[in-house]
Amino acid sequence: MNADKVRIFRAPGRVNLIGEHTDYNDGFVMPAALDFSTWVKISSLEEHRLQIFSENFDEEIEVELDDQNLVARDHWSDYPVGVALVLERAGHPLRGARLQIRGEVPIGSGLSSSAAIEVATVCALVANSDLKIDSRELALLCQRAENEFVGARVGIMDQFISLFGQASKAVLLDCRSLEFRLLPLPANIRLVICNTMVKHALASSAYNERRAQCEGGVAYMAKFLPNVTALRDVTIKQLEEHASGLDEVVYRRCRHVITENTRVLSAGDALERGDLDRFGELMGESHRSLRDDYEVSSEELDLMVEIGKKIEGVYGARMTGGGFGGCTVNLVADSHVNEFRERVSREYERATKLRPEIYVCTAANGAEEIF
């Protein structure tokens, strides 16, 4: 072991173009990695311990990797510590290490700052411990850290795209098989992300509640349809046939997921044909379904979408990520980006007194070692 060697890893946040709250229903999603990242600098320690310093919070924590009593504290360090514990518990012995973390993904904005820190940490710990684990497994381990240690029952989308993202491409991921298709994003299009500046708390009960409602729907329908193990397996016709036995809210949650899966597949075909108008329409339908059936939008997100979609050069606009605040994603012709930025800022601020942040992005590469 070379105690002096320092290595640096980077993992990006993401924006989801379409396919929201479908990943934990074994469905389809279409995210792209962003050019916002989290960096982890790592070097080995002799002791079986992690020293983790966050530049963003200007704070250092220390944990013994053999400590059986570590629990989440609702603290930034829950993510890297959770990843380390999950690795060890899965039988991947870690070397002690010092980690220095710097993140530029806006926190709590639906752009997956949590997946970025998890994935950058997992890449750093694995390399520093001379382990070989394939990237799909790494994504699953990070998801497990968030599910079991942090306590947010998130799906696989964010961790997966943070590892598998590719420049200029959206990724159509089947969250059941983890097979994916790369879809080219036209060069004259920008992914413009508008931050409502209202933060969400993903670990909050509303996300886990949605997940439980979907599971309730599946449990009911599986009584009649034995091959159904997730909403992925249910058609809209089957849902309608069993609607009378379902709680009205659960019915609408299921309807969102089932129709959203269909929209993702149609959006994939539209992108392959270069049909951005159709893609944009599907984004609009997705937003309405998230607002009315899944009820994870917010007044600010709805307003931001309304402002964005009427501006010239905008193909589509919708909320992105878990919801309850955070960001919208807009597909905008690059010739109209400046006008878009000005109008959204002005109109949103006028209506809410909040000054939005607007990020003009292109799809970027997934996690990598920097040097």
**How far apart, in whole angstroms, are the C-alpha atoms of residue 310 and residue 312?**
6
Single out the segment in contact with ligand GLA by CB under 6 A; choices: 20-28, 48-56, 191-199, 219-227: 20-28
Taking CA atoms, 143 is separated from 147, 162, 165, 328, in Å, by 6, 12, 16, 24
Judged by CB under 6 A, does residue 154 bind ligand GLA? yes
> To 10 degrees, the CA torsion angle through 54, 59, 60, 63?
-90
In Å, how far from its chain's centre is CA 301? 17
Taking a C-beta distance cutoff of 8 angstroms, is the pair 175, 21 a contact?
A: no
CA gap 279, 172 in Å, rounded? 13
CB < 8 Å & 24+ apart, contacts of 176-182: 176/26, 176/27, 176/230, 176/232, 178/136, 178/139, 181/268
210 near ligand GLA, judged by CB under 6 A: no
Decide if residue 157 touches ligand GLA (CB under 6 A): yes
Nearer to ligand GLA, 209 or 349 (CB): 209
For residue 219, count other CB atoms closer than 10 A to its CB. 11
- Residue 21 as a binder of ligand GLA (CB under 6 A): the answer is yes
Residue 139 interacts with ligand GLA (CB under 6 A): yes or no: no
Judged by beta carbon, residue 45 or residue 257, the one nearer ligand GLA is 257
Q: Output the smallest distance, CB 162 to ligand GLA, in A.
A: 11
Nearer CB in complex with ligand GLA: 21/92: 21
Nearer to ligand GLA (CB atom), residue 70 or residue 206: 206
Q: Are 116 and 124 in contact (CB under 8 A)?
A: no
Restricted to residues 90-129, the positions that interact with ligand GLA (CB under 6 A) are 112
> Please, which residue, 157 or 231, has the CB nearer to ligand GLA?
157
Q: Is residue 322 close enough to count as binding ligand GLA by CB under 6 A?
A: yes
Number of Cβ atoms within 10 Å of the Cβ of 365: 16
> Which stretch in 61-69, 72-80, 150-158, 304-312 sits in contact with ligand GLA by CB under 6 A?
150-158
Q: Say how many residues touch ligand GLA, by CB under 6 A.
A: 13
Q: Which residues contact 244 (CB under 8 A, 6 or more apart)?
A: none
Distance CA 157, CA 168 (A): 18
Residue of 26, 78, 158, 233 with catalytic role:
158
Active site residue 174: no
Choosing from 26, 78, 118, 158, the residue that interacts with ligand GLA (CB under 6 A) is 158
Q: Does 20 engage in binding with ligand GLA (CB under 6 A)?
A: yes
CA distances from 59 to 101, 102, 150 (A): 10, 11, 19
Indicate whether 23 belongs to the interface with ligand GLA (CB under 6 A).
Answer: yes
Shortest spacing between CB 338 and ligand GLA, in angstroms: 29
Which positions are annotated as active-site residues? 158
> Given the rule CB under 6 A, which residues bind ligand GLA?
16, 20-21, 23-24, 112, 154-155, 157-158, 202, 321-322
